[in-house]
Amino acid sequence: MAEKDEKSPNEPDDEKNPDQKVDPSEMGLVDLMKYLETKEPPKQILSSVDLEGIVKLIKDKKATQIITMAGAGISTSAGIPDFRSPETGLYHNLEKYDLPNPQAIFTLDYFMMNPEPFCMLARELWPGIFKPTPCHYFIKMLNEKGLLKRHYTQNIDTLESVAGLEEEKLVEAHGSFRLGHCLECNAEYTQDWMKERILGKDMRIPKCERDGCEGTIKPDIVFFGESLPNRFVQCVSKDFKSCDLLIIMGTSLTVQPFASLTSKVSEETPRLYINLEKTGCGPTNPFAMLMFGGGFKFDDEDNYRDVFLEGTCDDGCYKLADMLGWGDELRQKVKQEHERIDAEKKKETKSTSSKS
């Protein structure tokens, strides 16, 4: 009996299941184009592609795995400047630090050479100086109502935690001041230890106290060129697949990889963008452009899921809360929490004065 010829690796596999679904991300360009020509258009989830449609989705309990994404815009009403606004943005007001360029203050090489400008800036931005905004409390309210899957923030001000959002629900994509590490031996230092040196009357550059080490202590904030925290990578890989509503607030969506998260949700998932201006409408990469048309489609005729709410984040959250019937609850929460924080600060100041 003749032996059966072995199948060439280049020949088609007749035994392969023709109904087996292939991930478009694994297709070649030709196959991908064919796929795009034959695939059915995405299903519209919203009853109407506007804020009313978003509100109805939440009220009808069809959005119970909400992910929120936030940038500096949610903290500006607390007195913390954003980065890129003309005249008032952080980068515009860094001239006093005599930097080679504004971004240098957040680069590791420059910090290792001259940490003083960053430490001086940290005195102005240090957690505990500012109170959370209505936007922070709206995010907490989503969690209290069992609707928040996760909150992703670019901010390092920790105001979500001050507002009471539980740690498990929070992903600080660019790190925070909670801990610091020695750049030489990696020894860990607490926020209070760093605060004592950076916020003291006579500011001191935080230096390692281990025997034989004179390394500088850097807060665990992600500088340009550094890897994002492991928690960010781990949560992104599992969270966005099940997200049924994405709310983006106060970010220009220019910093990667954070900006690319808007395309991590399914192509049917509604997206609400609250910001002073529209951004993120262009393609993020060639594959995203082929698959999803690239970016938001606010003004496109075939827009079926993207809603833009122009204005400050606080105004946007109040408007959304009012339409959901949560407005009075949110305003009361902001009032009570701010009064509590003011009372605690007053008590702390009185205690400090009595000791001195």
Catalytic residue among 151, 174, 181, 338: 174
Q: In what order do the strands lie in the sheet with 175-182?
A: 188-190, 175-182, 217-221
C-alpha 34/C-alpha 46 separation (Å) is 28
* DSSP 8-class letter at 62: -
Q: What is the DSSP string of 66-94?
A: EEEEE-GGGTGGGT---SS-TTTSTGGG-
- Neighbour count for residue 85 (Cβ, 10 Å): 16
Taking alpha carbons only, the member of 246, 215, 289, 282 closest to residue 32 is 289
Q: Which residues pair with 216 in a beta bridge?
A: 207
Q: How far apart, in Å, are the Cα atoms of 312 and each of 64, 66, 133, 186, 229?
A: 25, 20, 11, 40, 29
DSSP string for residues in 138-160: HHHHHHHTT-EEEEEE---S-HH
DSSP state of 183: T
SS3 (DSSP) at 340? helix
Cα 16 from Cα 26, distance rounded (Å): 17
Helix (H) or strand (E) holding 271: strand 271-275
Q: What residues does 39 pair with on adjacent strands?
A: none
Report the DSSP beta bridge partners of residue 170: 151
Nearest to 135 by CA among 78, 66, 90, 80: 78
Q: Catalytic site residue 151?
A: no
With b meaning 16 or more CB within 10 Å and e meaning fewer, what string describes 245-260? bbbbbbbbbeeeebbe
Q: Which tokens hold the place of 244?
A: 């049924």
Q: Which residues are catalytic?
A: 174
